[in-house]
Homo-oligomer: A and B are copies of this chain.
Amino acid sequence: MARRNEHSKAQLRTLAIAAVRAIVAEQGPDKLSVRKVAEHIGYTPGMLYHVFACLDDLILHANAVTLDGLLQRMQAATALSPAEALQTMAGQYLALAREEPHLWQLVFMHRMPQAAAVPAWYQQRTLQLFVLVEDQMARLSAQQDAAAVHLAARTLWSSVHGISVLAVENKLSIAGDVDETAMLQSLIHHYLASWARNSVNGDDA
Residues of A within 8 A of B (CB): 28, 30-31, 83-84, 87, 109, 111, 113-115, 123, 126-127, 130, 150-152, 154-156, 158-163, 165-166, 169-172, 174-176, 178-179, 182-183, 185-187, 189-191, 193-195, 199, 202-205
For A178, give its contact among B151, B170, B195, B202 (CB under 8 Å).
Answer: B151
Given contacts A28-B114, A155-B187, A158-B183, 15 further A-B contacts (CB under 8 A): A87-B205, A127-B174, A127-B175, A130-B175, A150-B175, A151-B178, A152-B186, A158-B159, A158-B162, A159-B187, A162-B162, A185-B202, A186-B195, A190-B193, A194-B194
A190–chain B nearest beta-carbon distance, Å: 4
B residues less than 8 Å from A158 (CB atoms) = 159, 162-163, 165-166, 172, 183
B residues less than 8 Å from A179 (CB atoms) = 151
Most B CB contacts (10 A, CB to CB) among A31, A159, A187 go to A159
B residues less than 8 Å from A185 (CB atoms) = 202-204
B residues less than 8 Å from A189 (CB atoms) = 194, 202-203
Check A182 against B203 for contact (C-beta < 8 Å). yes
Check A111 against B30 for contact (C-beta < 8 Å). yes
B residues less than 8 Å from A151 (CB atoms) = 178-179, 182-183, 186
- Given A194-B189, A203-B185, A205-B84, A163 contacting B155 (CB threshold 8 A): yes
A78–chain B nearest beta-carbon distance, Å: 18
* Sample (21) of A-B pairs whose CB atoms are under 8 Å apart: A30-B111, A83-B205, A87-B205, A109-B109, A111-B169, A123-B174, A130-B175, A151-B178, A154-B166, A154-B178, A154-B183, A158-B172, A160-B162, A162-B163, A185-B202, A189-B202, A190-B191, A190-B193, A190-B194, A190-B199, A194-B194
